[in-house]
Amino acid sequence: MNEQELAAKELFMLYRGHFIQMHKNGVLEAYKKGGIEREIEITWYHEIIDKLTGELSIRDWEAMAGLEALAKYYQDARLLAGIMTFVTRHIMGADSIVKLMYAERLLAILQSLKSVLPDDQRYLAYQQTLKILEDISLKPLIIDPGHELELFNLKDKKSLNNRVKKSMDEINTIRFTKLFSKE
């Protein structure tokens, strides 16, 4: 890789491939000087996905927020696969707040990726999200230290359950629409 390509990759990784953000910050032209082909950009997107899915944690959801943002402008089914691997292994042991944050972000990611996901993969992801939401609503409110309700616009178990119900209704609406639509 030459110097311009290295500089382009550095910008690409810094902005996670978000060209609009590069433009807003005045670095898009510098990136374009690297003359990077689309295939290389796709490889870099995969590196970003791998890095962020490797950083997923129940203690910090910055990586999940990064994946949610990435899904809005780069649709790739690999993104969901990495998240689902983490979610199925780790989320059920998390506190109520972490479960809710992951479920809500997972719904947003599923919405962003709906055009590139096979129906069976999307169905399984919705089922897992529903399982997480049902677990939150059925169990007592569990909060780890540092996860204050007010930071998440919640007051008590009732307000938590209201957010859970809203997400469950969203999933049920999607399922109902899919069942009766002629796509």
SS (H, E, C) 90-148: HHHHCCHHHHHHHHHHHHHHHHHHCCCCCHHHHHHHHHHHHHHHHHHHHCCCCCCCCCC
Tell me: the pLDDT tens digits for 94-129?
A: 999 999 999 999 999 999 999 999 988 999 999 999
- Tell whether 171 is covered by a domain: yes
* Residue 118: domain span: 54-180
- Tell whether 112 is covered by a domain: yes
Task: Give 154 or 94, the one with higher predicted confidence.
Answer: 94
Q: How confident is the model at residue 178 (pLDDT cuts 50, 70, 90)?
A: low
Q: The pTM is what?
A: 0.86
Cα gap 50→145, rounded to integer Å: 29
- Cβ count within 10 A of residue 98: 24
CA angle 14, 18, 19 (to 5 degrees): 110
Please enumerate, as own/partner, the contacts of 165-168 that have beta carbons within 8 Å and a separation of 24 or more. Answer: 165/137, 167/100, 167/103, 167/104, 167/107, 167/129, 167/133, 168/130, 168/133, 168/134, 168/137
- Tell whether 125 is covered by a domain: yes
pLDDT beyond 70 at 181: no
pLDDT beyond 50 at 11: yes
φ and ψ at 110, to 5 degrees? Answer: -60, -40
- Tell whether 75 is covered by a domain: yes
Arithmetic mean of pLDDT, 129-136? 96
- Tell whether 27 is covered by a domain: no
- Average pLDDT over the chain, rounded to an integer: 90
Q: How many domains does the chain have?
A: 1
